[in-house]
Structure 1
Amino acid sequence: MSSSTVPSSPGWDLERSPFHEGELAVQERVGVREKIDAQGRRAVRRYLTAQQREFFLMLPYVFMASVDSSGRPWASFLVGEPGFVNPTGDVTLTVRARALYGDPLNDTLVPGAEIALLGVQFHTRRRNRVIGTVGALLPDGFTIDVRQTLGICPQYIQGRELSFNRDPLLPEPRPVHRNSRLDASASAIISKADTYFVASVLLQEGDPVATGADVSHRGGRPGFVRIDDDHTLTAPDFVGNFIFNTIGNWQFDNHAGLMFIDFDSGAMLYIAAHAEVLWDGPELHAFNGAQRLFRYHIDEVCRVEASLPCTFTAPDYSPLLERTGHWDIVAKTLEAERLRTVWRPFKVLETIDESATIRSFILEPADGSGLVGYQAGQYLPIRLQPPGWAEPTIRTYTLSDASNGRTYRISVKREGKGGCSDFLHDHIVVGDTIETLAPRGAFVFDEAAGRPLALISAGVGITPLIAMLNSQLVNDGRTLLHKPIYCIHSATNSKHRAFAAHLAKKGELHANLTLHVAFSRPSEDDVLGKTHQSEGYIDRALLRRVLPLDDYEVYLCGPPGFMQSVYDALLSLGVRDSRIHLESFGPASVSRRIERTVEVDNSEGVVVTFAKSGRNAIWRPKVGSLLELAEANGLKPLYACRSGSCGTCVTRVVKGEVDYTEPPAHDVEPGEALICIARPHPGPHLEDGTQNREGVTLDI
């Protein structure tokens, strides 16, 4: 394709998708297929753009993928003075470089071979990818026939500058070490690495769009690739561009070619392996920021000493690494799971005034143990004993940020009644210690729902919704929920509105986020359209105006009156009760209108008898706790924390036994139950004529 044949409308010019079936399958799995297809048709091209031609001319190094005679992909590193990669046309590149000594590319570079070229500027974190085939071999290099190009997101790249210390066109012999597993020197390179490159391939004869090699960059905190043993590695996979070239290829061919650069010694490490994608498991959940884990089963190792003709400056680490985990933290997190029901000391690392009445407390473990992970929306039980109080008191405060593996953040409103919230504001400072249990709570974000999202809050009720928002909108522009998100918040005025600057930044960076703030009593300094979008309260008319007609997943949190009125308004607008998730604070619960389904649930249940009220009910797992079952049947037992921490809901068990979703933090006497976290234990016998098990009788 010459310059004269470049399409007048830039982008993908074929009817079929620019992605093959493996890539599409992974995109479908994570819920982005439709969105990425539209983006791909704009970004993927079958020629080099002007920007890409200029970009490659500036580079002193590029990364390559090639395929050996047995079909295994290898990742390689090519260096040269800027201009050594020269776009000689819209679909051709000339590379004036020789493979490094010992690099597998020396054997795989033949005319017609499938290759991929990845241009990276470490210091600017820009990337561009080319897929094609080797054209002609030249005395000092080769040409590439370009088949596909794509600009790639600049995430997790560590900034480094290069300088040459010998002629890159004259590779010098160096000691080469080959093995079937890792030796001590290879392990040393991997254990300190903050970057590696992975090559993959899909070979499909007769389909030039689907077939090809790929080479991708992976970055993390030093040591982010774990050495499990001398033939196994495990690495996290963070949020990327959602195209899934590498994992897509692995759907058909799980061969992987890994390359590690020792930026200190100039050594190169090449590994042939088989890749396994881990989509779930305790280690994945404990590794902050990881969306998946890659496990590499090593087949062959090649290490070349002092291979590079250049040196690199110390790394300028990507700011995105701050919110990613590390294997040391993962180990501590998994160990901390044993301490879920133990009161542990946490030191106040920082305090932040979010508004005139709300202050955040950043807490880190003070006992040397790790941090138990949590889901966005959950809360943290804390225990305090202010001077003069006869007994310690337990309170629960919502965690107001997504889990980061290192700290907890609670955001507390001063109530002005002399209680725990006032004590925290008036007396707790940086360096003080607070006792906490592990996070808990059932008000959590459902990542599997995949629907447009409405986060509706009032006052300090925004805290769990901020955590949910932060869990989905990440890395200064990336979103894990590829649907519209509406954040609707009510506050008195700017002085009483928390997280205003944070939300404004999110709104600027994330195109799928819409913010609407309603002030009930604006101050003189507030400006409609700038500090807030409406005046008054969140009601039916406002919701109808702000929310386009759609099937939303709604998360609602605030004072009881606010909760009830907004819940009723949502129902009147056609939002299903099952789509509305509630978290209230204060003594009252929302009166819900449970949907009547056409299909009757005839699955096995457990009979629960409320002795005092003379009522019987059938418990099934979807009901939740015994407290929720009682409330659904019109009863109003006492409760406070709903986390098994305070003991307020303790109830006498007249007959039968209960089970707990997690061990209670409050001591429970024999013959009693904390119904806020208890479920009936199914008896061995069915009730006569039914599919329901004998269960428990409670003194309610």
Structure 2
Amino acid sequence: MPALKGWHPGERSIRHKLGFDAIPATAQAYTWISGDLPREHAKFHSEKLYFLPLTTLDEQGRPWGSILTDGVEGDPFLDNLGCGEREVEGMLVAGIGVEAATRRRNKFAGKVVEVRRGKSSHSVEFDLVVNGAIGECPKCITIRQLVPFPRASPKVVHKRPTLSKDDRLAEDAISFILSSDTVFLGITYSTFPNDTRVYPSRVGMNHRGGRPGFILVRPSDGRTIVLPDFSGNRIMSSVGTSKPPPASLTFVNFTTGDILYVTGNATNLVGPESQAIMPFQNTLTTVYVTGYTLILNALPCREDPASNIQPNPYSPPIRFLAEEKPPSLFDTSKTLMATLLCTAPLSPHSLGESSKELAINPGHNASFWTLPPSSGRGNISTWLRHAQARETGLWDWADVRKTKAPHQSSQKRILDLTPNLCQLPMPTLESISESSNNVDFLLHCIAAYKKVINDLRQRFIRFEQFALEEIAAERERNAELEQQLLQMQATI
């Protein structure tokens, strides 16, 4: 049974800004969240993990992300629970399990129903009821092999639960952030009085990953963390909270075992507001830090030094802040490189052979959509899908055309190259072989295939024309962005 009854106001707002409310495939994505914890998820969380990132709220209602292990001095979880000294029944919690070796991740949310003090001052047992769970994609997770590290000896070097107006993050905390490729993002949604029954308050925990250095700290104040948002499942539960929402960031160093806990006030920026802080980044979250704790040598596991780290190949390049003055707009020093394995000449008069069987089904097609612009500029997205039956019957040959995309405004353009060879009177190879002595039949086969080839040629000519128009428009938009960037740099 789905856990949610719909998108709450914050999620609706951010989905509308990004144009996701116009995508039919994700219109009811909230139904993907289960109302209980699946059995395989329970086994995953209890047997597959060295630690569990968990979001809880402190007495001020600020979220803190904890790293649950056997008990670490200084971890916000113990402070928020009060080790049984505070009333915690019904306390909101949310967690995410990430198995680094396989890139599996599963989220859950719920509330604490009972707390029992452990045998030591740094341990506690508690029961919680899960009322929301979902499995998520492995995107942006770096593959690492973790091994137990029993010699962990936590040492608190900074514990600043509250910062004054003029405070900055410690330099070692900033260096920690700038070198990280992983962060756990905790959020909270506070319901409106009239929406309590339909959209109750809740907290969340999620994983964010990228290339080392993708998270930045604004040099101007030394305490505002900038977290770019990369394309994901488009549920937008992490950035779709009430505004301005408090949020937590928890950084982990898998080599040294150090953990940095941060809480602060988050601001979600889209379009020009986002690009004014980080050029060419359309969506980001800033967190103005109001408290933090840095603990050294706390993680009970480490990267296996004999293993190889495998970064996610789809992570976008690192972008710099507008207030910085880097030598280029992007950090190209860490760009993934491709290796040329072989070359093969192409000829219009012969067919090549694949080294292995290709997983292609008849009727595959490609459509290019211009999605609703969030900042006055469109972005071309490519979608691949299988040919399928519609109410009007099977798809047939479709002209390359400018038309109204489904559920989109009339300004959006769609290209549909959807050949359904099943509907064409095409002779099969078996029939050609059986009728090899029938000259008329062979001539018919040649004419039929020539017709198909000519038809395809004409359609791809029109496709090329469309693509060139889109490329020209994109170049024009990029020129406008570069001009805006130059103007911003001139004013700094």
TM tier relative to shorter chain: 0.5 to 0.7
CA distance in 2, matches of 1:128, 1:262: 21
When residues 472 and 642 of structure 1 are mapped into structure 2, their CA distance, relative to the original with a 3 A threshold, is closer
Tell whether 2:43 aligns with 1:54.
yes
CA contact (8 A) 2:65 2:250 kept: yes
Aligned equivalent of 1:184, options 171, 174, 183: 171
Supply the distance in 2 between the matched residues of 1:217 and 1:40 (Cα, whole angstroms). Answer: 18
Q: What are the within-5 Å matches in structure 2 for residues 471-486 of structure 1? A: 471-473=381-383
1:127 aligns with 2:127: no
Counterpart Cα distance in 2 of 1:238 and 1:527: 51
CA deviation string 1:594-629 (max 9, x = no partner): xxxxxxxxxxxxxxxxxxxxxxxxxxxxxxxxxxxx
1:149 positional shift:
1.4
The aligned residue for residue 270 of structure 1 is 261
Deviation at 1:289, TM superposition (A): 9.4
Distance 1:146 1:174, change over 3 A: same
Match of 2:66 among 59, 70, 76: 76
Residue matched to 1:160 = 144
* AA aligned opposite 1:55: F
The residue aligned with 2:485 is none
2:371 maps to which residue?
Answer: 447
Per-residue CA shift, 1:234-285, capped at 9, x if unaligned? Answer: 2221111111111111x34421111111222211111122222221249759
The answer as to 2:451 corresponding to 1:536 is yes
What pairs with 1:401-480 in structure 2 (closer than 5 Å)?
446-448=370-372, 471-473=381-383
State which structure, 1 or 2, has the greater radius of gyration over its C-alpha atoms: 1
Aligned-residue offset at 1:448: 2.1
Q: Secondary structure at the match of 2:239?
A: helix
5 Å matches for 1:88-487? 97-98=70-71, 100-109=72-81, 110-138=88-116, 139=118, 140-166=124-150, 174-178=156-160, 180-204=167-191, 206-207=196-197, 209-229=199-219, 230-249=222-241, 251-281=242-272, 284=275, 291-313=282-304, 316-321=309-314, 324-327=316-319, 331=326, 333-334=328-329, 355-356=346-347, 446-448=370-372, 471-473=381-383
Q: Highest relative contact order (Cα 8 Å, sep 6+), 1 or 2?
A: 2
2:80 counterpart letter in structure 1: T
CA-CA distance at 1:662 after TM superposition? 6.9
1:472 maps to a residue whose letter is T
TM-score scaled by structure 1?
A: 0.46
Match of 1:536, SS? helix
Aligned to 2:361: none
Contact preservation (8 Å) 1:157, 1:317: no
Partners in 2 of 1:334 and 1:184 — Cα distance? 25
The CA distance in 2 between the partners of 1:160 and 1:258, in whole Å, is 21
Q: What is the rounded CA distance, in whole Å, between the counterparts of 2:109 and 2:95 in structure 1?
A: 6
SS across alignment from 2:254 = coil
Q: Distance in 1 between matches of 2:472 and 2:234?
A: 38
Cα deviation, residue 291, structure 1: 4.8
Residues 208 and 124 (structure 1 numbering): CA distance in 2 closer, same or farther, change over 3 Å? farther
1:28 alignment partner, SS class: helix
Gaps of 5+ in 1: 1-10, 80-96, 337-347, 359-443, 451-467, 478-485, 491-511, 543-555, 567-579, 586-640, 644-660, 664-700
The secondary structure found in structure 2 opposite 1:245 is coil
Contact 1:558 1:583 in 2 (8 A): no
Q: In structure 2, how many angstroms separate the alpha carbons of the residues matched to 1:487 and 1:449? A: 30
Instruction: Tell me how far 1:328 sits from its aligned partner.
Output: 5.8
Q: Residue 70 of structure 1: SS of its match in structure 2?
A: coil
Report the count of equivalent residues. Answer: 374
Q: Would the aligned equivalents of 1:122 and 1:157 in 2 still touch at CA under 8 Å?
A: yes
**Maintained 8 Å contact 2:258/2:295:** yes
Q: Deviations over 1:433-476 (max 9, x none)?
A: xxxxxxxxxxx9743279xxxxxxxxxxxxxxxxx97x4359x9
Distance 1:105 1:242 in 2: 29
C-alpha separation between the residues in 2 aligned to 1:76 and 1:133? 15
Matched with 2:365 is none
How far apart, in 1, do the equivalents of 2:40 and 2:108 lie?
13
Verify the 8 A CA contact 2:17 2:270 in the aligned structure 1: no
Q: Distance in 1 between matches of 2:29 and 2:43?
A: 23
Letter of the 2:200 counterpart: A
- Greater strand share, 1 or 2? 1
Q: Distance in 2 between matches of 1:527 and 1:253?
A: 69
| Counterpart in the other structure of 2:12 | 24
- Change in CA separation of 1:356 and 1:175 when aligned onto 2, cut-off 3 Å: same
* Closer, same or farther: CA 68–227 of 1 in aligned 2, 3 Å: same
CA spacing shift, 1:537–1:288, aligned 2, 3 Å? farther
Distance in 2, matches of 1:524 and 1:156, equals 45
Shift of 1:287: 7.8
Distance across 2 between alignment mates of 1:286 and 1:320: 25
* Separation of aligned partners in 2, 1:211 and 1:127: 23
Q: How does 1:538-617 map to 2 (within 5 A)?
A: 559=461, 563=462, 582=466
- For 1:534 and 1:25, the matched residues in 2 are separated by 52
CA distance 1:13–1:527, change in 2 (3 Å): farther
- Does the C-alpha gap of structure 1 residues 128 and 186 become closer, same or farther in structure 2, counting only changes over 3 Å? same
Distance 2:75 2:145 in 1: 22
Contact 1:175/1:304 (CA < 8 Å) preserved in 2? Answer: yes
Q: How much identity, in percent, do the aligned residues show?
A: 22
Instruction: Give unmatched runs, 5+ long, in structure 2.
Output: 82-87, 119-123, 332-337, 350-367, 387-394, 400-414, 433-447, 481-492
Distance 1:23 1:156, change over 3 A: same
Q: Residue 23 of structure 1 aligns to which amino acid in structure 2? A: E
**Matched-pair contact (CA < 8 Å) for 2:18–2:372:** no
RMSD in angstroms over aligned alpha carbons?
Answer: 4.8
Q: 1:161 to 1:13 in 2, by over 3 A?
A: closer
Q: What TM-score results when the alignment is normalised by the length of structure 2?
A: 0.63
Distance 2:246 2:449 in 1: 56
Contact 1:282–1:334, Cα closer than 8 Å, also in 2:
no
User: Any idea what SS the aligned residue of 1:63 has?
Assistant: strand
Distance 2:279 2:429 in 1: 40
In structure 2, the CA distance between the partners of 1:324 and 1:286, relative to structure 1 (3 Å rule), is farther
Instruction: Measure how far apart 1:131 and its partner are.
Output: 1.0
The separation in 1 between residues aligned to 2:339 and 2:99, in whole angstroms, is 36
Deviations 1:550-576 (A, max 9, x none): xxxxxx9854xxx4xx9xxxxxxxxxx
1:131·1:213 contact (CA, 8 Å) conserved in 2?
A: yes
Secondary structure of 1:105's match? Answer: helix
